[in-house]
Amino acid sequence: MKIRFFNGKILCMEPQMDIIQGELHTTDDTISYCGPSIKKINHETFDREIDLRGNLVMPGFKNAHTHSAMTFLRSYADDMPLNDWLHKQVFPMEAKLTAEDIYTLSKLGIAEYLTSGITANFDMYVDSEPIARAAMDTGFRTVIVSGLNNFVDSVENVAKNYETLNHFHPLISYQLGFHAEYTTKEEILKGVSELSHQYKAPVYTHISETRQEVTDCLNRTGKTPVAYLDSLGLFDYGGGGYHCVHFTYQDKDIFKEKNMSVITNPASNLKLASGIAPLCDYLRAGLNIAIGTDGPASNNCLDMFREMFLVTGLSKVKEEDAASFDATNVLKAATIGGAKAMGLPLCESLAVGQKADLFVLNLRKPNMQPENNIVKNIVYSGSKDNVLLTMVNGKILYENGEFFIGEDIGELYYKCNHIIKCMTS
């Protein structure tokens, strides 16, 4: 399948943030041309030609931390502190889920990602296999990370998933991880560390999300969560931390030394009153920063535009500096930073040889005019309403409000509502 996007603007992201007037071609799953408009073109070589009408093509956003199947808890367990939210609402409801429930609910999350220009997600949940099937069947790119803890999964099963899911389908990959220090006993953590050294693989986890989490870990171990986990060798091959709200200088230095990514989740941290991550400190330290929505129970909205605005807005408030964490850095975190954190080197930018993961942004809307600075418009005034088309791996999965994910969207809505009704009746 060969598709031509022409008569539009292209934001390649690398090596510069320059926007060019030109066209882009995809051949099967790969970008085969990205550059100035071609005057003489053989139209017969394309299966489809899409006139952009002056609109913008850019790399897809990477949702670098989420729990897609938690769509069933959207607006169900709200307005509670994190500990009560987890133990009184989330964990008891999750115990009722079947593998088929997770499969269906994950597909709903994927549909929402597509409406926001998200072309890949970093998904952590209680059962990895149905997540992989949902991504494969919809055609969506997914990196799965284990949610291993004291109550769910085992080190042995994580090893099995690592061996199996990294060869399951071209759109699927699997990373080592665990839920959090406070939900995972040391014996399990040491087992994950052994796997990391065996596979020479990075490790990912929720970390330093709340002040209480850090205090409790200090009381138990005499170390912060970052220092404690590092002492077990868990970060010897890199990886990343989700949230990273309450770091010490030593924590930041460990992340820098071990080439760890900070994956921030501003909407979730606000809703659960966890705090504001010191992202400018991380930026100054040279850490890779990525952005995630977190799950639809702690955020409710899987919207990268909202996350980007919160990243920069909250950073400016925390720094008391309106010039801090500008739009360019935010857009890099939502695209290139996410790809780096997720281990997707072929999904970072629009360039020949990169995967055809992209979306078309409608510039012909009032919120994107005038075009004084398109990058800043995207971050400060862009919205889901501007997403015209989302392509993953060379296939258009969302276009002009329609989904092409192998299932009628209305039927999918019905199935998801039926799942939660059965669980609460």
* Residues 6 or more apart whose Cβ sits within 8 Å of residue 77: 85, 89, 90, 93, 297
Chain mean pLDDT for the chain: 95
How much is the pLDDT for 14? 81
How much is the pLDDT for 18? 87
- 2-60+347-403 architecture in CATH? Roll (2.30)
**Cα 119 to Cα 58: distance, rounded to the nearest angstrom:** 11
| Four-residue CA torsion sign, 195, 234, 335, 409 | positive
**Cα 202 to Cα 175: distance, rounded to the nearest angstrom:** 7
How much is the pLDDT for 91? 82
Give how far Cα 359 sits from Cα of 87, 107, 197, 261, Å: 38, 19, 37, 25
Structure tokens at 235: 């970060």
How much is the pLDDT for 78? 77
How much is the pLDDT for 297? 85
* CATH number assigned to the domain with residue range 61-346, chosen from the 4 options 1.20.1050.10, 3.20.20.140, 3.30.70.260, 3.40.50.300: 3.20.20.140
Give how far Cα 182 sits from Cα of 112, 193, 226, Å: 31, 16, 12
How much is the pLDDT for 13? 92
How much is the pLDDT for 27? 98
Map out the domains of the chain as residue ranges.
2-60+347-403, 61-346
Check: CB of residue 359 under 8 Å from CB of residue 386: no
How much is the pLDDT for 168? 95
Low-confidence ranges of the chain (pLDDT < 70): none
How much is the pLDDT for 79? 81
User: Residue 183 carries which DSSP code?
Assistant: G
How much is the pLDDT for 96? 87
